[in-house]
Amino acid sequence: MTINKFQIIRKIAVINILRPIAIKFYSLTSKSNHQPYEDTVFPQLDVTKELKEIKENGYSIGIGLSEDILQEVLTFCEENEACIDRDRNDRIKISMTDDTQPSKGTVYSYTNTYKNCEAVRKIAHDPKVLEIAKKYLGCEPKFIGSQIWWSYPHLDESGKQTKTPLYGYHYDIDDLKFLKVFFYLNDVDEDRGPHVIIGNTHKKKNYFEIRNRRLADDVAQEKYGNQIKVIKGKAGEGFFEDTFCYHKGTHPNKRRLLLQFEFAINDFGHQNDDN
Ligand SMILES: O=C(O)CCC(=O)C(=O)O
List, in order, residues 6 or more apart from 8 with CB less than 8 Å away: none
% of the chain surpassing 90 pLDDT: 97
Is position 271 within any domain?
no
pLDDT higher than 90, residue 68: yes
pTM of the model: 0.97
Q: Which domain holds residue 159?
A: 5-264
pLDDT higher than 90, residue 140: yes
- CA proximity to 186, closest of 86, 82, 97: 97
Is position 274 within any domain?
no
**At 94, is the secondary structure helix, strand, or coil?**
coil
The secondary structure of the chain in percent helix, strand, coil, rounded to multiples of 5, reads 30, 25, 45
Total domains present in the chain:
1
pLDDT higher than 80, residue 2: no
CB of 195 closer than 6 angstroms to any ligand 1 atom: yes
Residue with the smallest CA separation from ligand 1 atom 2 is 249
Report the distance separating Cα 98 and Cα 78, nearest Å.
12
Is position 270 within any domain?
no
Is position 121 within any domain?
yes
For 226, which DSSP code?
G
Residue 195 CA: nearest ligand 1 atom is: 3
CB of 199 closer than 6 angstroms to any ligand 1 atom: no
Is position 28 within any domain?
yes
Report the distance separating Cα 103 and Cα 85, nearest Å.
12
pLDDT of residue 1: 59
Is position 272 within any domain?
no
Is position 85 within any domain?
yes
Is position 164 within any domain?
yes
CATH code of the domain containing 205: 2.60.120.620
The predicted-structure confidence for 41-55, as pLDDT tens digits, reads as follows: 999 999 999 999 999
